[in-house]
Chains A and B, each alone.
Chain A
Amino acid sequence: MHSTWASYINEKVSGASAVVNEVEAGDQSITVDPTHLKAVCEALKNGEHEFNVLQVVSGVDYPEEQIIEVNYILASFTKNTELILKVRLPRGDENNLPKVDSVVSVWKAANFQERETYDMLGVEFVGHPDFRRILCPEDWTGFPLRKDYVVQEKYLDMVVNPVHKMNIGEREFGAKHTHIKGASTSVKNYTVEAPATSEDTSLN
């Protein structure tokens, strides 16, 4: 099924270079070239395979490869099929966010989904009609679902993650946590020393 779709994409959109990703477990997926994403989506929606619904846009961060992958999970409610369409974008930095074309004009469902992906992973969707954060406050800094995200210490003069509100388990977990080599983890703040016992009782 996936190879049919991949050859269909390559036939309709020249330069899309669709490749099927073979996996040992779970679902297969198709990777396409980011610059042709919109044309690919249009072909998939309006063509013979009728992917009429965009289910979700899901970003995944791979700091080791310096790549952010955006998954567009499409479904056809007429042919009862499902497809994970991937684009791989260079990760960039704070001033130079990864960019890809918005597909809001293809499916309106992309509106909120793309805003969430921007909010959580910092991917810029070019041509989005209402592009801003959706779940975090407008003035929040950083993108929480990036693997090297560190919680800001203060937000509007409020301490984020105050020490006395964390339990011992979280602190120990944070100290041991080495999910990604070479990148500071999101639980950096948890490595702070435990307060003295007398202080603990006063705060309770």
Chain B
Amino acid sequence: MIKMEKTSFDQEKLKTELLTINMGPQHPATHGVLRVEIKTDSEIVAEATPYLGYLHRCMEKHTEHLDYRGVIPFCDRMDYLAAMNAELGWVLTVEKMLGTEVPERAQTLRIMIAELQRIASHLMFFGTYAIDLGAFSPFLYAFQDREFILRLFEELSGARLLYNYIWLGGVWNDINDEQLSRLENWLPELEENIKKYHALVGENKIFIGRTANVSIVSKEMAFDYGATGPVLRGSGVDWDLRKKRPYAGYEKYDFDVIKGEGLKGTLGDCWDRYYVRMMEMHESIKIIKQCLAGIEEGPVMGKVSKIVKPPKGEIYLRTECPRGELGYHLVSDGTKNPYRVKVKSSCFTHTSMLPDMAPGLMIADFVAAIGSIDIVLGEVDR
């Protein structure tokens, strides 16, 4: 008979410690060059610290040496998936300072373009989020529809990603009737597709299992961190700048503000943030349809002097971008260069929420959490 000896170690004196793992900077789930240092207790994340700056180009410093028109391409390069919206914000800021009048047709065109860009950006979110969670094919579906929008933008501006299309006083290039009718004919197809995608992914049992009740952002936490856009609306707050503080003529359009309702789990979980973005695309289509119905003939550029010199003063203007509110704080000293431009980036704000969102999640769920706030590192680092 084998005699069992007593184990030589004392269970109570066994040491356990947290394991430090580096996620990124090159990691497919961090949506760019973000490094998150996570401390894990086996599979559970105990602590997460984001390290930023890998894409830092000091855009704010560059603006000191540029004229007001020259800043527009730099705005493109912040959030490269929603360049039109970033341009629009900057142009509106300067125009408000100058008191420029924008022709009717250009205003309609701007809103149409901004909403198309919103759809393109949300489609990108839809595709990459599915990849984060392990489903590859939705990415390909999303890119089919995104391609139509990018082709249209290419015809209008000459570029597929970084456009420099919205200029002070209007837009650079007019849209023609053929493009308008092509867009009009395509919209019903897009609407059908988005419904299909939502049925395929959003209602999928595995997807719901991965996102519902994961990484809940309460209303109080969202306000405390200054979250905006789909992240704030996902927590059930009815806040959309296009409705609450209309800019660029949004007050003329009829659409609903989508907010999370906790349909599949708790209010403010990853599924709610996904849901807000998917449903927002339908609202954007509504706005585009109204634009197409209401677009008038006329010029697309207003009168702006060759050298732009806004009066001395400062201004803060924010607009609703696909990822949240993008604000520009502009200090002008009356010369042709801006004295100081500060960009309020929603992605930067949302990244600061990660240390509070992470504790208690599995590592794979942490990937879902990063994906659900939909950050673009170009805008985080600027």
Contacts and interface: CB of A to CB of B under 8 A. Distances in A.
Interface in B232-256: 237, 239, 244-245
The contact size tier of chain A is 35 or more
Contacts of B332: 25-26
A137 interface: yes
Interface string A24-64: 11110100000000000000000000001111101111000
B315 A112 contact: no
A27 B239 CA distance: 22
B314 interface: yes
Contact of A187 (B65, B225, B337): B65
Interface string A154-178: 0000000000000000000100010
Nearest to B220: A52
Contact of A23 (B314, B330, B381): B314
B350 to A, nearest CB: 10
B378 interface: no
A25 B225 contact: no
A102 to B, nearest CB: 14
Interface string A128-145: 000000111100000011
Given A60-B331, A82-B316, A108 B310 contact: no
Contacts of A177: 65
A179 interface: yes
B148 to A, nearest CB: 35
B53 A136 contact: yes
Interface in B335-350: 337, 339-340, 342, 344, 348-349
Contacts of A134: 52-53
A84 interface: yes
B311 interface: yes
Interface string B291-332: 000000000000000000011111110100000010101111
B314 A120 contact: no
B314 to A, nearest CB: 5
Contacts of A136: 53, 56
A84 B337 CA distance: 22
Interface string B52-85: 1100101011001100000000000000000000
Contacts of B64: 147, 179, 186
B349 A144 contact: no
Given A111-B352, A137-B53, A58 B342 contact: yes
Contacts of A23: 312-314
A5 B349 CA distance: 26
B97 interface: yes
B313 A73 contact: no
A27 B327 contact: no
A80 interface: yes
Contacts of A112: 348-349, 351-352
B226 interface: yes
A58 B329 contact: yes
Contacts of A73: 316, 327, 329, 344
Contacts of A82: 316
B349 A109 contact: yes
Contacts of A29: 314
A109 B226 contact: yes
A55 B226 contact: yes
A27 B315 contact: yes
Contacts of A61: 340
Q: Which of B239, B337, B340 has the most CB of A within 10 A?
A: B340
Nearest to B311: A25
B223 interface: yes
B314 A54 contact: no
B10 interface: no
Nearest to B93: A26
A19 B90 CA distance: 29
Contacts of A107: 224-226
Q: Which 6 A-B pairs have the closest CB atoms?
A: A109-B226, A58-B342, A26-B315, A26-B313, A56-B344, A25-B313
Interface of A: 23-27, 29, 52-56, 58-61, 71, 73, 77, 80, 82, 84, 107-109, 111-112, 116, 120, 134-137, 144-145, 147, 173, 177, 179, 186-187
Interface of B: 52-53, 56, 58, 60-61, 64-65, 96-97, 223-226, 237, 239, 244-245, 310-316, 318, 325, 327, 329-332, 337, 339-340, 342, 344, 348-349, 351-352, 356, 381-382
7 contacts: A26-B97, A26-B313, A55-B344, A109-B224, A134-B52, A145-B58, A173-B65
Given A26-B313, A27-B314, A77-B223, 16 more contacts: A24-B311, A25-B312, A26-B311, A26-B315, A27-B313, A27-B316, A73-B329, A82-B316, A109-B224, A109-B225, A109-B349, A120-B60, A135-B53, A135-B58, A137-B53, A145-B58
